[in-house]
A and B are shown apart, each in its own frame.
Chain A
């Protein structure tokens, strides 16, 4: 059973933003998530996540000077749970129509309030049979560095594999073709994949 993480609060063809139901309960960087939309499932990779105040103009203030632990801060100020929220941003890398996984952008974006689930190991395995999605990650213009994101995504995916090493080698070979002529970027990513 896949874990329900939150729901979409901002949506687009290439990426979407979702709010976690629980404060600080965020998926890891590079996790594969899915959104169920009418007639299709959209897959994305978490590229950014964070927690901030609900009002853009108001920044939280430090409250723990006299507290012994972080938990104690939240216990003594229970309103914080309502004033803060955790969000994560996802880059769309593929979708599934009629049971078939396609690693390119879906025809329509996900709806606002659509639920975002963390993919199960089985789903990750299925999705990672092909590495076409790597070119979407490599060629994006996100705030995060591509090298960090690609490495994180592949590390996350390798955890679901029966042979993580073989998976990383295969992924590395696919990446070599995608990044042909960009040896230094390749080298940076590979250095972040080593186990």
Chain B
């Protein structure tokens, strides 16, 4: 028999606040219908509790039954023992509670500080219960998926979400990109924030691949042409893919600062003295330091100059090799009249979302150099504007969410202190800039940064250290581990943290079919605009 919402599942028999409660299943409810991660409500005497099933077990009242079980052909004995001497039991982690009095109802669900009394009845949470906890889809709540095995729409409060930095994790191929795309659409539609996306794999601009990569799905630009601008580092690649771009990013030598090189010390294989030399050269030559360093001939003059600067010959060669790697990047030019930072800011100020496609430049050096350079300059401008607005001169800038992939490269323990992303993650929303970090190795990210992430959305992870890193500091960590390790490898994720009142495993919403495009666009632009967009989409 399928279990229905509101059906009695069983009664609470033991429990503790720390470890959660044990529920003995009624004989009418089958263990096989239970799933870890499902929501239940517990009707205590004075209050109701919301909890999540975190473990399911089989019990016997008499050890002898386990030692000499009835014969498999003996259905009669088995039927009698079922639910009496042998029973199913659920481990439920209560997470929220609502008191019975009027005040508590107005206050809404609160975190649990107690356990339900003995023999409280346990039921599957109904759609109304879920709505009470997570709220309905509205102007700031975005429907991201359904709780496991339920039809209820699970909505995230995106205004709340973008107030802090957030993380999306999961091992590769579990749908991180897919989930990110959904979330970006949500932020674009339901919050005042704008997005800046460093799109390493060209997944968020015009078209991306579906989960599993069998087919192409639309990315951000086609459904929301008026809200999204696509920047590219690789014009040729964009042309090959037949997509138009709003801006081609070029970076001049004179835009590269010592901090940018310092960050790349690992990828460029630079020694510490070489990095030190960069600062020295910058002090000496200013903006032209890179050009001049590269132009230096192998002459006595150079040797003399190096001696004067107190830079060792081998250090200098090491630095030159590193800089040559950068120079080889096609988008690095001696000087560019069009400053990429200003253009991005211009678009962002107009409320546009910017996707920066990397084209064929998918190596991590490029990604780190460009993302860090642009982000730090943009962040600086936001900082200035925010300070000006605090002084009451101008309105504060619109909140900005910067999306970075392979986040552990920027935020690992060694360099999180130096990169701009480490700063943004730690300073939170002080300057209206937050991060959306996407990563498959959360254990490699600095703990301090991890602890600052407001909401974490994680797809399947199977490395013990990664799971520990993601769940660090969450109450009921051990129980959630069971849930996390049992997510389906696709289209399922566990959301917890600031934007949701309690952790919730979800099946993500569909994206990639004409129907889904229509559903999304309907929620965003005005109906007229949406209609127009859809028409264009299928022409």
What residues of chain A have their CB less than 8 Å away from a CB belonging to chain B?
A: 168-169, 172-173, 175-177, 180-184, 186-187, 190-191, 193-195
| Residues of B contacting A: mostly | loop
Tell me if B70 is interfacial: C-beta within 8 Å of chain A: yes
Q: Do A172 and B80 contact each other (CB < 8 Å), given the known contacts A180-B62, A183-B65, A183-B85?
A: yes
Q: Which of B70, B74, B85 contacts A180 (CB 8 A)?
A: B85
Please give, as numbers and ranges, the residues of chain A lying within 8 Å of B272 by CB-CB distance: none
Tell me if B76 is interfacial: C-beta within 8 Å of chain A: yes
Q: Do A187 and B70 contact each other (CB < 8 Å), given the known contacts A172-B80, A194-B76?
A: yes
Of chain B, the residue at the smallest CB distance from A174 is B84
Contact between chains at B64 and A177 (CB < 8 Å)? no
Looking at the assembled complex, report how far the CB atom of B11 sits from the nearest CB atom of chain A, in whole angstroms.
15
Q: Do A176 and B85 contact each other (CB < 8 Å), given the known contacts A169-B80, A190-B77?
A: yes
Inter-chain CA distance A184–B65, complex, in Å, is: 9
Contact between chains at B70 and A177 (CB < 8 Å)? no
Please give, as numbers and ranges, the residues of chain B lying within 8 Å of A168 by CB-CB distance: 76
Please give, as numbers and ranges, the residues of chain B lying within 8 Å of A173 by CB-CB distance: 27, 80, 83-84
Q: Do A190 and B84 contact each other (CB < 8 Å), given the known contacts A180-B61, A181-B62, A184-B64?
A: no
Please give, as numbers and ranges, the residues of chain A lying within 8 Å of B62 by CB-CB distance: 180-183
Inter-chain CA distance A180–B86, complex, in Å, is: 11
Of chain A, the residue at the smallest CB distance from B61 is A180
A-B contact pairs, 29 of them (CB 8 A): A168-B76, A169-B76, A169-B79, A169-B80, A172-B76, A172-B77, A172-B79, A172-B80, A173-B27, A173-B80, A175-B80, A176-B81, A180-B62, A180-B85, A181-B61, A182-B62, A183-B64, A183-B65, A183-B68, A183-B85, A184-B64, A186-B85, A190-B76, A190-B77, A190-B80, A191-B77, A194-B74, A194-B76, A194-B77
Inter-chain CA distance A101–B70, complex, in Å, is: 35
Inter-chain CA distance A73–B372, complex, in Å, is: 115
Q: Tally B residues with Cβ within 8 Å of A.
A: 16
Please give, as numbers and ranges, the residues of chain B lying within 8 Å of A177 by CB-CB distance: 84
Looking at the assembled complex, report how far the CB atom of A195 sits from the nearest CB atom of chain B, in whole angstroms.
8
Looking at the assembled complex, report how far the CB atom of B68 sits from the nearest CB atom of chain A, in whole angstroms.
8
Please give, as numbers and ranges, the residues of chain A lying within 8 Å of B83 by CB-CB distance: 173
Of chain A, the residue at the smallest CB distance from B81 is A176
Inter-chain CA distance A183–B85, complex, in Å, is: 9
Looking at the assembled complex, report how far the CB atom of B164 sits from the nearest CB atom of chain A, in whole angstroms.
53
Q: In B25-79, which residues have CB < 8 Å from any A CB? A: 27, 61-62, 64-65, 68, 70, 74, 76-77, 79
- Digitize B14-27: 1 where CB-to-A-CB distance is under 8 Å, 0 elsewhere: 00000000000001
Please give, as numbers and ranges, the residues of chain B lying within 8 Å of A190 by CB-CB distance: 76-77, 80
Please give, as numbers and ranges, the residues of chain A lying within 8 Å of B61 by CB-CB distance: 180-181
Please give, as numbers and ranges, the residues of chain A lying within 8 Å of B81 by CB-CB distance: 176
Of chain B, the residue at the smallest CB distance from A165 is B76
Q: 6 smallest A-B Cβ distances: which pairs?
A: A172-B80, A183-B64, A176-B84, A183-B62, A190-B77, A173-B84
15 further A-B pairs in the complex, CB-CB below 8 A; given A176-B80, A187-B70: A168-B76, A172-B77, A173-B27, A176-B81, A176-B84, A180-B61, A183-B62, A183-B64, A184-B64, A186-B85, A187-B77, A190-B80, A191-B77, A194-B76, A195-B76
